[in-house]
Amino acid sequence: MAPGVERSFTAASTLEEAMAARRQGAAVLAGGTCMMRDPRRGIDLPEAVVALHRIPALSKVEIEPDHVVIGAAVTHVVLGRALHGAAGFEGLVAAAQGAANPGIRRVATVGGNLCAFDFAAADLSPALLVCEATVELETFKGPKLLGISDFLKDRHTLLTEAIVTRIHLRRDLIASAHIRLPLRKAGDYPVAIVSLAVDKDKRCRIAVGSVEPVARRWTALEQAMAAGPPSALDPERAAGFALEHNDFQGRDGREAEGWYRRQVLPPLVKRGVAALLKTEGLA
């Protein structure tokens, strides 16, 4: 920390207050688990920060019969507990309950996980991609809704003047699963992540995280799997398609090289389909 720099911290009680702080140049401070590492990456900590956890609408999970709304300041622990047992959200629950370690999960938020744009190993990104989530932002020009794929691609620019406020999910899934490959048993970043879901029309959605810099849907595999009947959802068959349609460019990183991240995808798909078949919705 540079000597003599005055730091300011605001815990906003309303979104208007938070946006006023943003207009003055404050960065959003969520759990701080990513931001705390900025100095180690050679990035100065922001001089002003605004926290969102006191804004009631951003700190709760609303579960309705046809949709779910998740506040950006909801922590991984709260998200996992809130959706535990909700049919179709098994994958999102596994992502919230399996990421990082218990201490991080208690403070790290949904918003922070999606907004840490130089962090490729975010578990919630692929899990929310298969939910086809909509991201709600508050910008200097007013509220904005964006599909999660577009948000993830454009967030670097969007976040210069926005706050992620809520994540909206339809309840149109009958089953989902989330498979991650850390190199140790726990506590480190996953080398590759595969999230899978089956919707009410029995269509399979698949997304991959940590393999490329930004998580994305695996459309080539989704299309290959859609060609067969829903009854053909089979782990071996899916792994075969994953091998044939592997169009990922693995990123080299400290935990693993790109070729390895790419290569582990078929076995992760196999595990993912096996996990899907064990859910209540497909059993």
Residue (18 or 174) nearer to ligand FAD, CB: 18
Residue (68 or 163) nearer to ligand FAD, CB: 163
Q: Check residue 163 for interaction with ligand FAD (CB under 6 A).
A: yes
Residue (138 or 222) nearer to ligand FAD, CB: 138
Count of residues of this chain found to bind ligand FAD when the rule CB under 6 A is applied: 29
Residues 90-129 that bind ligand FAD (CB under 6 A): 99-100, 104, 108-109, 111-113, 115-116, 121-123
Residue (31 or 88) nearer to ligand FAD, CB: 31
- In angstroms, the CA 283 to CA 260 distance is 32
Burial track 31-41 (b if 16+ CB lie within 10 A, e otherwise): bbbbbeeeeee
Q: Which of 12, 19, 21, 33 binds ligand FAD (CB under 6 A)?
A: 33
* Minimum gap (Å) between residue 209 Cβ and ligand FAD: 8
Q: Which residues lie near ligand FAD (CB under 6 A)?
A: 27-35, 52, 72, 99-100, 104, 108-109, 111-113, 115-116, 121-123, 159, 163-164, 189-190
